[in-house]
Amino acid sequence: MDFNISSPKREILTELDYKINDLSKPKGSLGRLESLAKQIGWIQQTLTPTLKHPQNIIFAADHGIVEEGVSQSPQEVTRQVINNFLNGGQGINFLAKQHGFEIKIVDAGINYDLPPLKGVIDRKIRKSTRNYLYESALTSSEVEKALNYGAEITDMCVNEGSNILSFGEMGIGNTSTSSMWMTLLTGIPLDKCVGVGSGLDSEGVKHKKEVLKKALDNYQGTNDVMQVITYFGGLEMVMSVGAMIRAAQKGVIILVDGFIMTNCMLAASKISPNILDYAIFGHQGDEAGHKLVIDYLGVKPLLHLDMRLGEGSGALCAYPIVDSAVRMINEMNTFSNAHITKYF
């Protein structure tokens, strides 16, 4: 997979500043809407940006580390939630309906032989990852395949006319995997990266930290991003990294969801730093460590709603703000057209 991402050309930024400042309002008075409009216009290289066919891609897979009791939820919940997605009853479903998103569900590595299901894209690489307490969760060839499958799904969306994508996940145990990525890729102590996940009590969190500490102690690799996402891999997470990288290569706006997807963006940024130019961070979630990784990346999320559902839910909640920014730059009048004296 080609990992090269070019930053958008900067020449248009001066024109975007002029247009935004010439809208009939006090300079800077629409705050984040102004900076968002500038970013989106920069990404799309236009003074009249658009949002087309928004889609939320949910990659689903299981994690071998759940054998160690690090999650409140049993592994079979992954496949059960997939059925609820398809029936329209999961949290992301009402948000997608509300905000006009199409949902794509991808089986990246669910530990179950799913029957052919309309609405599920089969890209299963293996049933669950291996248990990284004892061995590498993935092989390098499995990681390569996952990155390419993720890129393929993005290509599919772009061919359908999408220019803005959000990414979600479903996988029992993936907050543990995210914590491992976070500590190794940022240097933040593991203890600060581990939270309640799907609802662990204090004793459960203590046990989770102990298991992950042992896994970290057993790890003989480095903090090189490819080594980290291989040894502590989650198939849905690696596919998300590939999908995000391809989205940036295609000039697509990336809406970043919660703790897990932020760590996927962290990994993607270690592979190709320019990807952050294309990213809009939807929210700061309630999972321990999310604020720390956001601060590490030096980004500012749009919302803070104490959410930790995943699935892309926080990104979709933030979408109307993104839409407002695009409407602002396209629909507000200028001082001259409105016959208002420009007062700055």
Active-site residue numbers?
311
Report the C-alpha dihedral over residues 25, 28, 30, 34, rounded to 10 degrees: 110
Helix axes 140-159, 235-249, angle to 10 degrees: 50
What distance in Å separates the CA atoms of residue 340 and residue 36, rounded to the nearest whole number? Answer: 25
Q: Which residues of 37-56 are buried (b: 16+ CB within 10 A; e: fewer)?
A: bbbbbbbbeeeebebeebbb
CA 172 to chain centre: 17
Residue 42 phi/psi, 5-degree rounding, is -65, -45
What distance in Å separates the CA atoms of residue 238 and residue 241, rounded to the nearest whole number? Answer: 5
Report the C-alpha dihedral over residues 299, 302, 305, 311, rounded to 10 degrees: -80
Best CA proximity match to 39, nearest among 62, 8, 77: 8
